[in-house]
Homo-oligomer: A and B are copies of this chain.
Amino acid sequence: MKQVLIYDTTLRDGMQGENICFSPEEKVKIAQKLDDMGIHYIEGGWPGSNPSAVRFFDLIKDVKFKCAKIAAFGSTRRANTRAREDRNLQALVKCGAPVVTIFGKSWNLHVEKIMNNTAEENLAMIEESIVFLIGEKREVIYDAEHFFDGFIADPDYAIATLKAAIKGGCKTLVLCDTNGGTLPHELEKITRTVTATMEQTYDFPVQIGIHTHNDIGMAVANAITAVRAGAGMVQGTINGYGERCGNADLTSIIPILALKMDSPCVSPENLKKLLPLSRFVSETANMTPLNSRPFVGKSAFTHKGGIHVSAVMKQSCAYEHMDPSLVGNKRRVLVSEQSGKSNVLYKAKEMGLDLGPDDAFSQNIISAIKELEEDGYQFDVAEGSLKIIMEKLSEQYESHFELESFRVSIEKNRDQPCYAHATIKIRVGDTFEITAAEGDGPVSALDNALRKALTKIYPTISDMHLIDFKVRVIEGSGSTDSKVRVLIESRDENNIFSTIGVSEDIIEASWQALADSFQYKLALDKENSV
């Protein structure tokens, strides 16, 4: 089967999703991951509609991409104006993106009842906007909004809008199921009609794309159906984020095309990055990853039933439709004492810990981890803290400093900003250090004070930096007394490590994670100096 082009709109249509918001800087990082995965087009935003999109296009100009092209999104010109005088079209050109995707109306109801426009002027808007953009040397993609609803209402007019885009010079037409209510068999019939019409009408190839929404749970099915009916480009978002019920989920579409339909849209090597990409986007959006998400969810290859587990051990295909490692995922078997122990042994070996021939240590570790995870700790994302706990429970832990005490105070006067400072006293062997620092908020003040105290004794601490600090409230039924989980990611020149703290008090939780991160760093330095 021919290669299908993947067009990602996480950074534009994905951001229409409730609670989904990315800063321009976060969008750049996501774009780099998408490029690294081998995505062909990355839609970055609508420069004519908001200033943060403009900032993204400014930032992205300096970024080198391996394969992805950056696209800006916007509408056709307003009615009864000139394309070159249209502010939205000007913004699309000015943002500097090499690809411009513009959407226009396909549905006579929309044109007449909502836009109060005429059928003819709508066709002119499509054609002239494209002529203008192509004159500005942009690659143009045309999104035919509400195409399927429009086709059902008036097929001739819907087709006429596509022909207007082609007349303007556009050769990539994306059929959009904007309301997300079209059934696959209807969508297939209409897509086949369009591809056949294009083949009959033009002596050059017209690329058909598909853009679907999940309002009846069919976004992925519809996208795949359209590919079978001749579409060569699929628009979607990572994790299916998007308005209402979301867009077509590329984390399903990419592996379906690659593994089930012999259409390798990305390389097998890149396909393994699918799970990390999905996690990166959900982390950046601070959305809890959906465990049941096909292919990339934590539960996607998880077996609970005893019959299933023993069958899978004999033949994985018994209850797995594919090898999970192909998309970077793995099989999980829900905890029995036995599987717990082999996991712990596996992990200890990975960390270079010797748990000895005796079972006692690993049994202690299993039960401690179970208890802590019930309290809200999560060690699969905090291996720094996991290592420290495993060392403590196997009597191999060496502490590099002890807390004597700290005090953090925050002051606020009327509408002045808050002011935070911290004093801290630590002990290293027989040496005591007491010092103070300020910061942007209490955790920052505490971090600065601890760092200042430790640097005097351990100068290598200055290599170490916090790179991420995440707070999540657990036990949703909360109030300010609910538990808080703090995750800290730190790095030095050669390593990145994550640590965790959980408490009803955010300062206590932050302290646990901070203290672990410094202990972990000092242990690393000691290993390396040996």
A337 within 8 A of B: yes
Contact of A404 among B18, B23, B413, B505 (CB under 8 A): B413
A214 within 8 A of B: yes
Q: Shortest Cβ distance from A295 into chain B, in angstroms?
A: 7
A to B CB contacts below 8 Å, 8 in the list:
A25-B477, A217-B220, A243-B302, A407-B410, A410-B505, A441-B503, A466-B480, A468-B476
When A and B form their complex, which 3 residue pairs have the shortest distance between CB atoms, in order from nearest? A181-B321, A221-B221, A441-B505
Q: Shortest Cβ distance from A56 into chain B, in angstroms?
A: 12
A392 within 8 A of B: no
A207 within 8 A of B: no
Cβ contact within 8 Å between A292 and B507: no
* CB-based nearest B residue for A405: B413
Q: Shortest Cβ distance from A237 into chain B, in angstroms?
A: 11
Cβ contact within 8 Å between A508 and B414: no
Q: Shortest Cβ distance from A159 into chain B, in angstroms?
A: 21
A272 within 8 A of B: no
Cβ contact within 8 Å between A338 and B50: yes
- A241-258 CB contact bits vs B (8 Å, 1 = yes)? 001111001001001100
Is chain A's binding surface mostly helix, strand, loop or mixed?
Answer: mixed
Contact of A440 among B179, B469, B505 (CB under 8 A): B505
Contacts of A293 in B (CB 8 A): 245
Contacts of A263 in B (CB 8 A): none
A residues contacting the other copy or chain, number (CB 8 A): 137
Cβ contact within 8 Å between B418 and A412: no
Complex: A408 Cα to B380 Cα, angstroms: 34
Given known contacts A18-B302, A181-B260, A300-B244, A471 and B49 CB-to-CB distance under 8 angstroms: no
Cβ contact within 8 Å between B469 and A471: no
* CB-based nearest B residue for A465: B479
Question: Interface on A for B, CB 8 Å cutoff?
Answer: 15-19, 21, 23, 25-26, 29, 49-52, 109-110, 113-114, 149, 178-181, 183-185, 214-218, 220-221, 224-225, 228, 240, 243-246, 249, 252, 255-256, 260-261, 283-284, 286, 288, 290-295, 297-305, 308, 311, 314-315, 317-322, 334, 337-338, 370, 373-374, 376, 378, 380-381, 402-415, 417-418, 420, 439-444, 447, 465-482, 484, 503-508, 510-511
Complex: A471 Cα to B509 Cα, angstroms: 13
* CB-based nearest B residue for A297: B245
* CB-based nearest B residue for A415: B403
Cβ contact within 8 Å between A180 and B506: no
Given known contacts A317-B109, A440-B504, A469 and B478 CB-to-CB distance under 8 angstroms: yes
Q: Shortest Cβ distance from A305 into chain B, in angstroms?
A: 6
Cβ contact within 8 Å between A406 and B411: yes
Complex: A261 Cα to B218 Cα, angstroms: 14
Complex: A185 Cα to B184 Cα, angstroms: 10
Q: Shortest Cβ distance from A381 into chain B, in angstroms?
A: 6
Contact of A475 among B23, B183, B290, B481 (CB under 8 A): B23
